[in-house]
Chain A
Amino acid sequence: MSNLEKYNEAFMEVFQIGEDQLTDDLKYQSIETWDSVGHMMLMAALEEAFDIMMETDDILVFESYPKGKEILSNNYDVEF
Chain B
Amino acid sequence: MTRLLENKNAVITGCNRGIGFATLKLFAEKGCNVWACVRCENKEFEKKAETIAKENNVWIKPVYFDLGNSEEIKAGIKQIRENKEKIDILVNNAGIEQQGGFFQMTPMAVFEKIFKINVFAQIEFSQYITKLMMRNKAGSVINLSSCAGIDMTGGYMAYSASKAAIISVTKTMASELINYGIRVNAIAPGIVETQMSRGLTDEARENTKNSSLMNRIGEPEEIAEAIAFLASDASSYMTGQVLRVDGGM
Contacts and interface: CB of A to CB of B under 8 A. Distances in A.
Chain A bound to chain B: yes
Given A37-B179, A53-B74, A44 B132 contact: yes
- The number of chain A residues touching the other chain, given as a range, is 10 to 19
Contacts, number: 23
Interface residues of B, number: 12
B interface, over-half SS: helix
A56 B132 contact: no
Interface of B: 74, 77-78, 81, 127-128, 131-132, 134-135, 179-180
Contacts of A41: 134-135, 180
A75 B81 CA distance: 20
Interface of A: 37, 40-41, 43-45, 47-48, 51, 53, 56
Contact of B127 (A37, A45, A56): A56
Contacts of B74: 53
Contacts of B77: 53
A43 B131 contact: yes
B179 A44 contact: no
A44 B135 contact: yes
Given A53-B81, A53-B128, 19 more contacts: A37-B179, A37-B180, A40-B134, A40-B180, A41-B134, A41-B135, A41-B180, A43-B131, A44-B131, A44-B132, A44-B134, A44-B135, A45-B135, A47-B131, A48-B135, A53-B74, A53-B77, A53-B78, A56-B127
10 contacts: A37-B180, A40-B131, A41-B134, A41-B180, A44-B131, A44-B134, A47-B131, A51-B81, A53-B78, A56-B127
